[in-house]
Amino acid sequence: MAEPVIELAGLRKSYGVGSDVEIEVLHGVDLRLDRGEFAALIGPSGSGKSTLLNAIGLLEKPTSGSYRLLGRETGTLDEEVLTGLRCRSLGFVFQFHHLLPAFSALENVLLPHLIAEGRITDGARSEARALLAAVGLADRVDYRPQRLSGGQQQRVAIARALALAPPLVLADEPTGNLDTHTADDIFVLLREFNRKRGTAFLIVTHDKRLAARCDRIIELVDGKVAADRPNEAVTSAG
């Protein structure tokens, strides 16, 4: 049986707890994602997708319920431990790349190493260069973001997300700001890392074409998992 990366049980998230305007966004979410899975998280606007992704990413604490990351219950951990766990276990790719404009592509990819280790080793530098080569930017390592196209900037963001070889990458509309052709290229890149490295991906998307190419489709409606199904069209094709 595959090893779980994340296990959510009865996860709830409310804002304004204890006030007159308290609102619950997540209503008891149960979800498991195993190593190497490639899953899409879909649902209408306001369904709680970003809130769920933030909770999984340890960016927001759930109000109640259980969240285990790599077998470790996160609800009892202090902020320092959570920060270390987030840095080592999770990679993030967003619709907007959030690259540091004063840093080169190589320096942006090295940021997770700097945060985790407090220094940059020769090995980290070599790995960062290899990642940039893997995303097709071997000749752009010294370029700053403003000299790169939108698609190239997103490639740098993907390399940065993979810098510490996390078992799970969370991607929030990673192709939402790109044209169709570039979006297809980025999707192929994510899929390649999934297959070659065994990295699990959970991808929030409104793009039905992209979701249809994932192995599993999880649908969130009104803060609850309304459907969770394997994508037979993809899995049967191997």
Indicate which CATH number applies to the domain containing 208: 3.40.50.300
185 assigned to some structural domain: yes
> How many domains is the chain built from?
1
Does residue 15 belong to any structural domain of this protein?
A: no
Q: Is residue 14 part of a domain?
A: no
Instruction: Give me the residue label for tokens 């799970």.
Output: 168
Residue 71 lies in a domain: no
Q: Is residue 16 part of a domain?
A: no
Q: What is the pLDDT of residue 237?
A: 53
Whether the CA torsion 106, 117, 76, 15 is positive or negative: it is: negative
Q: Let me know: does 109 contact 156? Beta carbons within 8 Å.
A: yes
Q: Is 10 contained in some domain?
A: no
Gap between the terminal Cα atoms of the chain: 19
Is 74 part of any domain? no
Quick check: is 164 in a domain? yes
Mean pLDDT by 10 residues, the chain (238 residues): 89 88 92 95 90 92 94 90 88 84 94 84 91 90 93 89 91 82 84 90 88 93 93 61
pTM above 0.85, yes or no: yes
Give the range of the structural domain holding residue 51, as residue numbers without chain letter.
38-61+79-235
* Calpha distance 97→69 (Å, rounded): 25
